[in-house]
Chain A
Amino acid sequence: MMPKGALDILLVEDNEGDVEMTRRALSRATTPCTLSVANNGNQALDYLHGEGGGGMPHGRPDLILLDINMPRMDGKTFLRTVKHDDSLKAIPVVMFTSSESPADIRECYESYASGYVVKPFDGRQYAERLDQVVNFWGKIGELPNA
């Protein structure tokens, strides 16, 4: 894959506070990113399929950050939908959630989540974790094709 300017991220999150926190953290991240936001699974699907004014700057996002508890379509349903859609399933999805339940963690990994992060209580730690995740997926994109 050719290196490109910035990592395109789609954040699927209903809580304004978390959206703001993520925006703030990414603006200071070591990996340059662009951020698009959907407030629930339905909106995110519309976005990915190019409906409702969607359309990422570089087409498909490089990474989806996904909350679990959301109104309308929740994170787990969205995850399953994406991973069963041939045109979307290659996009890595990393869960960002407040749920520490072992059942949730297992279920998400079984639905092919690429990672599971429990939102840290402290804002700085939140930014650090996000930076690590984004950095990792940025590096993966720089790997030469086998």
Chain B
Amino acid sequence: MSVVRTEADYAPGAHNAPPKILLVDDRPENLLATEALLRPLGAQIVTAESGEAALGHVLEHTFAMVLLDVQMPGMDGFETAQLMQTRPSMQGVPIVFVTAISKEDHFATRAAGLGAADYIFKPINPDILKSKVKVYLDLYRQREQILSLNATLRQSNEELERFAYVCSHDMQEPVRMMNTYAGFLAEDAAGKLDDGALRYVQYIRDNAVRMQKMIRDILTFSRVGREELHLEAVDSQKILDEVLAEVRDVIEARKAIVTSSALPTIEASPTLLRVVLQNLVGNALKFHDGSRTPEINVSARRAGSRGEPMWRFDVKDNGIGIDPAFSERIFTMFQRLHRSEEYPGTGIGLATCRKFIRLCGGDIVFSSSPGMGTTFTFTLPDTGRPQ
């Protein structure tokens, strides 16, 4: 175990207690003097007159740092440090040795081997001791603050995601009712309503259908990360073929040409690959102005560095392209660059893709020349499996 206290231990805002310093010295007069010297720094000071007593305190408290006298009768400073560090709560806590022993190398080596953050030589220079302790306290406070902020952030993120999930789940019902009953109205009142009224009913249905799509997309988005990722051997060519079969009507209607070079079988989440390819191929088919035949190519190759091997997938189209000014916005939820009458959509697809891919340890970017086409590139870790 390398880091013992994690964000999970930090209830937001619960960490206003002063940091604690443990002073260990067999001579009470030394303890008194050091305590008086450090008191203005605002830390709570706990003292121990022996290694044994120090170990007892370590069981009860979490310290920001330890000032440890090396030469003590019974258990000396080195032994004490060694035993202290077997305590989970002491992992990462800086220990500063205080010693009158000469500055020989073997001492420094031994101290360093025991995880000493520093050592101070007797006779102690009060200003140096004070400023060193202050540095460690500042580091400790900063770290606490970051951990606490992270915990707060994580909590509010979780709340938001839960909110999105519950909202979208419960919103499906009323939208379904609106759509169904507007449909019944159109059926039942077909002979009684004039064309204008029937058009209004159709607006209700169209918009209910649109809202349903948005809700479904938000649900998919919020499910990413909520549900466990299942990594398995996935034939990406097969997934692409299935995705293409789903949009065969669109491909035929637009006379689009979709090509792919034998895509690999990789270890990944099949849901991820399907969602990502659905969105990228769907976008590649959609964003055309009709001036030329849509051509889409999907390819994959090994990429990344030796320490971090990746699979790189490219989805290339010859569509209307994307203004580079929108490079970041395009992955943000609900960002649409076109009127829905021109290119319908909910503006959630790419946000979902990016969330999913990043969760899996990859990333997604695009390159584009407006009017010429776009290539979306995403990467996924290459686990080396299946061989």
Contacts and interface: CB of A to CB of B under 8 A. Distances in A.
Interface of A: 15, 17, 21, 24, 98, 119, 121-124, 126
Interface of B: 172-173, 175-177, 179-181, 183-184, 209, 212
A15 B176 CA distance: 12
A98 B209 CA distance: 16
A121 B176 contact: yes
A98 to B, nearest CB: 6
A123 B183 contact: yes
Contacts of A122: 179-180, 183
B223 to A, nearest CB: 10
Nearest to A126: B180
B179 A15 contact: no
B212 A17 contact: no
A121 B184 contact: no
Given A15-B173, A98-B173, A123 B212 contact: no
Contacts of A123: 179-181, 183-184
A123 B172 CA distance: 14
B177 A17 contact: yes
**9 tightest A-B CB contacts, nearest first:** A123-B180, A17-B177, A123-B183, A121-B176, A123-B184, A121-B212, A98-B172, A98-B173, A21-B180
Interface centre among B175, B177, B181, by most A CB within 10 Å?
Answer: B177
A38 to B, nearest CB: 19
Contacts of B183: 122-124
A24 B183 CA distance: 13
B181 A17 contact: yes
Contacts of A126: 180
Contacts of B179: 121-123
Contacts of A119: 176
Given A121-B209, A122-B183, A123-B181, 14 more contacts: A15-B173, A15-B177, A17-B181, A98-B172, A98-B173, A98-B176, A119-B176, A121-B176, A121-B180, A121-B212, A123-B179, A123-B184, A124-B183, A126-B180
Contacts of B172: 98
15 contacts: A15-B173, A17-B177, A17-B180, A21-B180, A119-B176, A121-B175, A121-B176, A121-B180, A121-B209, A121-B212, A122-B179, A123-B179, A123-B180, A123-B183, A126-B180
B172 to A, nearest CB: 6
